[in-house]
Amino acid sequence: MTVTTEVNKVLDERADSGAVPAKVETPFRRFVSDFADSKIAIVGFLTFLIILMIAILAPWISPTNPYDLATVDILDSRLPPGAEMMNGTTAWLGTDGLGRDMLSAMFYGLRISLGVGVTSGVFALCIGVCIGLASAYFGGRVDTVIMRIVDLQLSFPAILIALVLLATLGKGVDKIIIALIVVQWAYYARTVRGSALVERSKEYVEAAACLGLSHNRIVFRHMLPNVMPPLIVVATVQVAHAIALEATLSFLGIGLPVTEPSLGLLISNGFEYMMSGKYWISIYPGIALLITIVSINLVGDRLRDVLNPRLSR
Amino acid sequence: MTTNVPTLQVEELQTYFYTKAGVAKAVDGVNFTVDKGQIMGLVGESGSGKSVTGFSIIGLVDPPGKVAGGRILFKGEDITNAEEERMRSLRGSRIAMIFQDPMMTLNPVLRIDTQMIEAVQAHEKVDRQTAFERSRDALGQVGIPSPEERLKAYPHQFSGGMRQRVAIAISLLHKPDLIIADEPTTALDVTIQGQILYEVQKLCRERGMSLIWITHDLAVVAGLADKICVMYAGKVVEAGTIGQVIDLPLHPYTHGLIGSVPSHNKRGQPLEQIPGMAPSLLSMPEGCAFHPRCPRADTQCLVEPGPTVPADPDHRVRCCHPHLEGAA
């Protein structure tokens, strides 16, 4: 019986392939349906979307504006969660040492953390991809020089490089983005170079060269789409890393100015009150940071499973 | 340019690979000429240098390989180590190449129309619509049904034979003067191979294209080509017309190759085979490279590389002891 069903299935498939398919199954569509097979990945993805929406809409959904120093009242400082502030709004997650509403500060902090993480990630990706592709495509001496520089940089801890850079550049959102780009490009370059080397040896690249296409076209139009899968995985993981690294730097007090707190800076602000029972100033931003990073990593893990054919599914 | 100029002349071509282990002479003094509309079979076993010869012509020998000597004349123009710009304008438009594995020659993530339109626009300034129509017509010519719909498909939606047809269609887009086909039917099954051979032969005749068909399959060449070059260890050991080489092979290696083809009239008898393996390019035997495997070798073969004997004006053999008695 199973044999007949098998045969029928094969026959059905033949009938299907014979006719011109009404809707072409693009690689992208297949990828989306594969991704959606995992419930936990969907949860992670939705969580990330919510966090993203909060970050984008922060100025409109926050109860107060933590950046507006005129509205911040020092008498509100260190109120416990649920207490009412001087201006009548309820501080659901308490207030920090300066009297800022924690919930609002976290919304804005998330905005800065994600903004810094994604911006630096995108720039580092572009730089890393160009360098990695050039390295793999031209090979030889170009490749050796570039990869030794990458090795050199990766042999230092990321936090050390960022610390040295920020100590030289000073404080500010733009400075920390620059520092994170410098730290991250090497990861992208190495990943892209690795998979581009594999693609380089495939016949379609040779065939493209035989068609007389230019280097630019072969590299960006033919090789780049084929190295995207590992790149997407590394990009998600790196964005999470960047957010964590920014939080670390802010916690150490060398990242962002105190007036524009990111999640890391909020944690750092509450750190001194931890032992006196005022847990909320550090714990809530910490939880927000944790959820953000975990949700991005969940998505990244699933992407890796879907995009890596060697892992059995 | 007069019509008498052959499409391709290869003179004493030497392509060497400078590896750390030594210089590998992948192609060592190869001569042949392909006239307009002629189909030449380039035959040899794996590692005999036939593919490298093809890549040398199109100027895409990967480092550490290099064309070290000789001349390649394309329609009378010397394109040996020509400038990259000049080669790029020839590649794909005047000289096209078809590869062995149709699964690999098309980019898996781009649609067929994207790849074909790109190939058209790489050499001619035409708008997308014209390029699309050209692509559609090319697909139709190689026998792909409903080309308009198929253009919208991805390579993985084609079978192996269909993909090879697409690859051939791409090579035909600019009506090239010369096509170099590197074992294009090896990965296909016999019926598809037959169809492709028929299409290619027809297209060559119709358009006066020259074709170099690189293969290890004598049966294919016998049915397709006008002339044949047999390569062994980077050298042409025998060259001539199909009739001359297949019916009256002079070189012991060609003899062995033909003897190794299973055919119906030798049923039940053990197949003849050439003993041993092709020599490593790094440790080539002294004298004639074939002597360790040759049934006719003697002391002369150990020192002499074998003279080129013209048995006929256009039938040459490189051997000290060719099978001349059979020719008589």
Whether A141 maps to a domain, the answer reads yes
When scoring B51, B97, B101, B109 by the number of chain A Cβ atoms within 10 A, the one with the most, hence best to mutate, is B109
When scoring B94, B105, B112 by the number of chain A Cβ atoms within 10 A, the one with the most, hence best to mutate, is B105
* Omega of the bond leading into B64 within 30 degrees of 0 (cis): yes
B145: contact with A, CB 8 A cutoff: no
Whether A83 maps to a domain, the answer reads no
User: How far apart are alpha carbons B122 and B219 in whole angstroms?
Assistant: 36
3-state secondary structure of B302: helix
3-state secondary structure of B56: helix
Whether A95 maps to a domain, the answer reads no
For the entire predicted model, the pTM comes to 0.74
Whether A209 maps to a domain, the answer reads yes
pLDDT at A13: 53
- pLDDT digit string, tens, across residues A104-160: 888 988 998 899 999 999 999 999 999 999 999 888 888 999 999 999 999 998 889
pLDDT at A10: 53
A188 vs B165, higher pLDDT: A188
Instruction: Provide the number of structural domains found in chain A.
Output: 1
Residues with Cβ < 8 Å from B105, sequence gap 6 or more?
A203, A204, A207, B98, B99, B163, B167
Which CATH number goes with the domain that contains A53? 1.10.3720.10
Residue among B170, B184, B64, B37 nearest B116 (CA): B170
List A residues 113-142 in contact with B (Cβ-Cβ < 8 A). 139-140
Distance from A10 to chain B by nearest Cα, in Å? 16
Distance from B58 to chain A by nearest Cα, in Å? 7
Domain around A119: 28-64+100-307
Q: Is pLDDT above 50 for A15?
A: no
Cβ within 8 Å, pair B92-A225: no
Residue among A73, A66, A81 nearest A265 (CA): A66
Distance from B223 to chain A by nearest Cα, in Å? 27
pLDDT at B1: 45
Whether A129 maps to a domain, the answer reads yes
Q: Is pLDDT above 80 for A229?
A: yes
pLDDT at B265: 61
Whether A72 maps to a domain, the answer reads no
Residues with Cβ < 8 Å from B275, sequence gap 6 or more?
B293
- pLDDT digit string, tens, across residues A235-277: 988 998 998 898 888 888 887 887 778 888 888 888 888 888 8
Q: Is B116 exposed, middle or buried (0-12, 13-18, 19+ CB in 10 A)?
A: buried
Distance from B25 to chain A by nearest Cα, in Å? 21
Whether A73 maps to a domain, the answer reads no
B123: contact with A, CB 8 A cutoff: yes
Whether A40 maps to a domain, the answer reads yes
Instruction: List Cα–Cα distances, A283 to A11, A98, B76, in angstroms.
Output: 61, 17, 80
Pick from A17, A20, A212: CB nearest B91: A212
Which tokens in the block code for residue A85? 């502030």
Residue of A nearest to B97 (CA): A210
Residue of A nearest to B105 (CA): A204
B8: contact with A, CB 8 A cutoff: no
Q: Which domains does chain B have, with CATH numbers?
A: 8-94+174-263+271-327 (3.40.50.300)
Name the CA dihedral angle for B182, B188, B193, B196, rounded to a multiple of 10 degrees.
-70
pLDDT at A4: 54
Quote the DSSP letter at residue B91. Answer: B
- How far out from the chain centre does Cα B32 lie? 12
pLDDT truncated to tens, each residue of chain B (328 aa)? 445 788 888 888 888 888 888 788 888 888 888 888 888 988 888 778 888 888 888 888 887 888 888 888 888 888 887 788 888 888 888 888 888 777 778 888 888 888 888 888 888 888 888 888 888 888 887 778 888 888 888 888 888 778 888 888 888 888 888 888 888 877 777 777 888 888 888 888 888 888 888 888 888 888 888 888 888 888 888 888 888 888 888 888 888 888 777 765 666 777 777 777 777 777 777 778 887 888 777 777 777 776 777 767 778 888 877 777 654 3
Distance from B319 to chain A by nearest Cα, in Å? 35
Q: Which residues of A touch B96 (CB under 8 A)?
A: 210-211
Which tokens in the block code for residue A120? 């630096």
Q: Which residues of A touch B118 (CB under 8 A)?
A: 211, 213, 217, 221
Q: What is the ipTM of this complex?
A: 0.73
